[in-house]
C-alpha cells in the first residue's frame, strides 16, 4: 500500500525527511560527498562512534599492553559478554543467551557440530534452495564429517517461483528423517522474512531442533528468539549493525540448552572464573559464552562497541518503522517512475513479510548497477538479474531515495547502461 499522500516529487521527499525522528543520526556516519549509499545490507557505513571506540581500543593496547585484558576503556576479557548484553535486545534474547564471537560460517559450524546429533532415522539436515551459499557449504561439510552424503542427507526445500519460500512447503519437509533445521530469517536475494515462530513451533512439535541465519535481519528487523523458542541463531555484525568489514559475528543459544558441551571447544568456551586455571578438563560457561572458541578479535570487535551505542539510543522498533516506511517509499517511486522499463519488484509488498532491502529485477541488472555506480549511486548486484537497494534507517534520507530513482530513470531513458557489459565484477 502506498504511503499516505504519496507524491513523486522532491518536495514530498523533503517533507518526509523533516518528519524523520531518526534523521539526526545521519550526521553520525561518514557519507561520501557526491555519492548515495544503497548497499548497507552488504556492508554498513562507518559511524564516528565506531571510529572512536576502535581508536580507544588501540589506545588500550598502547597504554596498557597485556593489562588491557582487565584495564582501559574496553577491557578485553569481558568484551564479548558486554557486547552480547547490548545485542540481546535486538534479537530478543537475554544477556546470557547472546555472545559476540567468530564469523557467520565459523559460528554455523560451531552450532551444527553441537546440535546436529543424527540418531536412528533422524540423520538429515533441512535447509532451502534460496539460502546463502556459504551456509550450504558448511552444512555439506558437517554432513561429510559425520559420514553422510550431502546429496542424500541435505534437504533443500524448493521455491515455487525462484523468489520466495512458502512456510507450508518447509513444514511439509519436516519429516521423521530430519535431525536439524537451518533457515534464513530473511532471504538474501528477495528480502522475504520467514515466519520464524510458526516454523519453530512446527519443528518442535516434531521433535526437531531449529536455528536461523539472521545476517540479513540483525539490526533492521526486531526478533524474539527466546520467546519463540528458537534453539539457536547466528549472524554477522557488519551489515545493518555497521560493525566494520570482516567484523566479528554473533550468536544466540536458547538458555534451555545451557550446559550443552560445545561441539568445537576452545579456550574461550570456558567459564570465566576457571579460564586461567589452565586445566586440561574444560568447564564450559553456563551461557552462550560456551560457544566461543578462541580469543576475541579485539580490534575487529571494537567498532561494534560504538555502533551499538547508536542502536541502544535509537531503538530497534523505531529503526524497523523507518526501514519499512523508507523502503515502501522506494517501491512507490519505482511503481510511479519506472513503469514500462522492464523492472519487477521481487520483494514482498506486505510489511510483515519483508526485511530491510528492496530487490529490483531486470534483465540488464549487471549493466544497470555499473551505470548507477558511474552516477554516484552505490547499489548491490546479485546474479543473474537482481539489483538490491537498501535505504538504511540510521543514515539514508528520503531525498537519497528520490535521487536514486531519478537517476535510475535517467539511466534507462538515455540507455546509459548500454556502454557496460552485462556481467558482474569480481566483487558483485
Binding-site residue positions for pyridoxal 5'-phosphate: 104-105, 132-135, 213, 216, 238, 267, 295
Rounded Cα–Cα distance for residues 263 and 173 (Å):
26
Alpha-carbon distance values, 397 to 225, 286, 309, 390 (Å)? 30, 43, 21, 11
Tally helices (H) and strands (E) across the chain.
Answer: 13, 13
Q: Are 311 and 219 in contact (CB under 8 A)?
A: yes
Q: Are 357 and 400 in contact (CB under 8 A)?
A: no
Q: Is 399 exposed, middle or buried (0-12, 13-18, 19+ CB in 10 A)?
A: middle
Host H or E run for residue 37: strand 36-37
Rounded Cα–Cα distance for residues 272 and 289 (Å):
9
Residues annotated in a binding site: 104-105, 132-135, 213, 216, 238, 267, 295
User: Burial letters for 115-150: b for 16+ Cβ neighbours within 10 Å, e otherwise?
Assistant: bbebeeebbbbbbbebbbeebbebbbbbbeebebeb
What are the two backbone dihedrals, phi and then psi, of residue 15, each rounded to the nearest 5 degrees? -65, -40
Amino acid at each position: 500500500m502506498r504511503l499516505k499522500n504519496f507524491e513523486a516529487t522532491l518536495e514530498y521527499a523533503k517533507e518526509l525527511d523533516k518528519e524523520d525522528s531518526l534523521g539526526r543520526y545521519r550526521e553520525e556516519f561518514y557519507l561520501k560527498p557526491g555519492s548515495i549509499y544503497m548497499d548497507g545490507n552488504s556492508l554498513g557505513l562507518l559511524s564516528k562512534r565506531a571510529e572512536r571506540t576502535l581508536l580507544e581500543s588501540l589506545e588500550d593496547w598502547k597504554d596498557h599492553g597485556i593489562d588491557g585484558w582487565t584495564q582501559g576503556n574496553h577491557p578485553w576479557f569481558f568484551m564479548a559478554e558486554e557486547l552480547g548484553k547490548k545485542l540481546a535486545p535486538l534479537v530478543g534474547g537475554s544477556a546470557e543467551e547472546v555472545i559476540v564471537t567468530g564469523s557467520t560460517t565459523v559460528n554455523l559450524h560451531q552450532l551444527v557440530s553441537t546440535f546436529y546429533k543424527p540418531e536412528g532415522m533422524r540423520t538429515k539436515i533441512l535447509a532451502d534452495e534460496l539460502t546463502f551459499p556459504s551456509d550450504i557449504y558448511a552444512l555439506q561439510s558437517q554432513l561429510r564429517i559425520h559420514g553422510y552424503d550431502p546429496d542424500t542427507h541435505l534437504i533443500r526445500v524448493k521455491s515455487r517461483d525462484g523468489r520466495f519460500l512458502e512456510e507450508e512447503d518447509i513444514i511439509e519437509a519436516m519429516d521423521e528423517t530430519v535431525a536439524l533445521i537451518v533457515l534464513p530469517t530473511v532471504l538474501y536475494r528477495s528480502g522475504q522474512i520467514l515466519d520464524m515462530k510458526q516454523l519453530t513451533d512446527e519443528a518442535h512439535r516434531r521433535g526437531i531442533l531449529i536455528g536461523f541465519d539472521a545476517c540479513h535481519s540483525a539490526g533492521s528487523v526486531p526478533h524474539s528468539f527466546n520467546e519463540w523458542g528458537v534453539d539457536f541463531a547466528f549472524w554477522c555484525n557488519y551489515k545493518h549493525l555497521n560493525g566494520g568489514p570482516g567484523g566479528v559475528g554473533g550468536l544466540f543459544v536458547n538458555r534451555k540448552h545451557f550446559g550443552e558441551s560445545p561441539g568445537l571447544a576452545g579456550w574461550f568456551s570456558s567459564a570465566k572464573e576457571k579460564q586461567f586455571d589452565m586445566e586440561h578438563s574444560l568447564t564450559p560457561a553456563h551461557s552462550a559464552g560456551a560457544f566461543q572458541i578462541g580469543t576475541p578479535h579485539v580490534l575487529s570487535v571494537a567498532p561494534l562497541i560504538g555502533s551499538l551505542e547508536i542502536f541502544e539510543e535509537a531503538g530497534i522498533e523505531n529503526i524497523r518503522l523507518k526501514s519499512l516506511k523508507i523502503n515502501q517509499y522506494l517501491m512507490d517511486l519505482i511503481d510511479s517512475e519506472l513503469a514500462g522499463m522492464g523492472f519487477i519488484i521481487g520483494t514482498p509488498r506486505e510489511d510483515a513479510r519483508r526485511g530491510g532491502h528492496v530487490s529490483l529485477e531486470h534483465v540488464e541488472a549487471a549493466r544497470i548497477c555499473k551505470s548507477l555506480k558511474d552516477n554516484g549511486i552505490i547499489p548491490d548486484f546479485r546474479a543473474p538479474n537482481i539489483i538490491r537497494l537498501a535505504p538504511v534507517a540510521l543514515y539514508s534520507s528520503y531525498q537519497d531515495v528520490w535521487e536514486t530513482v531519478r537517476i535510475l530513470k535517467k539511466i534507462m531513458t538515455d540507455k546509459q547502461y548500454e556502454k557496460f557489459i552485462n556481467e558482474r565484477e569480481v566483487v558483485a
